[in-house]
Amino acid sequence: MRHHAWVNRYTYRAEWSPERGEYSSRCIELPWLEQWAPTLQEATAAAQRVVDEYLDEQIRDGGEVPAPLNERHYSGKFVVRTSPNLHARLALEAAEQRVSMNHWVVQKLSGRLDHRLSDIFDFD
């Protein structure tokens, strides 16, 4: 029994590997099922096939099947742990801009400020 509807709702990524001279394709939700092939189409088809087989096995055996990323509910909240120094710097920058620290960090994460990620997250 095939569950193509599940496969078609998952997120896939395919990319060329100059080191291997072929394409890799994987399902983002099940990244350990990466497949390789000479063409983009073959790699993607292979990844979809192996995900389909995995889903068949999981469903048959009563295992868990992850929800596709685009069907998950995101609250808009997540906790970020950082160093006290970076926390203090972000608080200072937000105060200087007269915005909340949350607003400042969202602006930085969304790329709306002229900073590189390496400048933002130095993890000191």
d(CA 51, CA 59): 12
CATH topology of domain 4-69: Double Stranded RNA Binding Domain (3.30.160)
- pLDDT of the residue at 2: 54
- Three-class SS of residue 23? strand
Q: Kindly list the averaged pLDDT for each block of 10 residues, start to end, along the chain of length 124.
A: 62 97 97 97 96 92 92 90 94 92 91 58 52
> Would you list the domain boundaries of the chain?
4-69, 84-120
* Residue 8 Cα distances to 1, 3, 11, 25, angstroms: 15, 9, 8, 14
- pLDDT of the residue at 38: 98
This prediction's pTM: 0.64
Tell me the HSE value of 94 on the side-chain side, using a 13 A CA sphere: 17
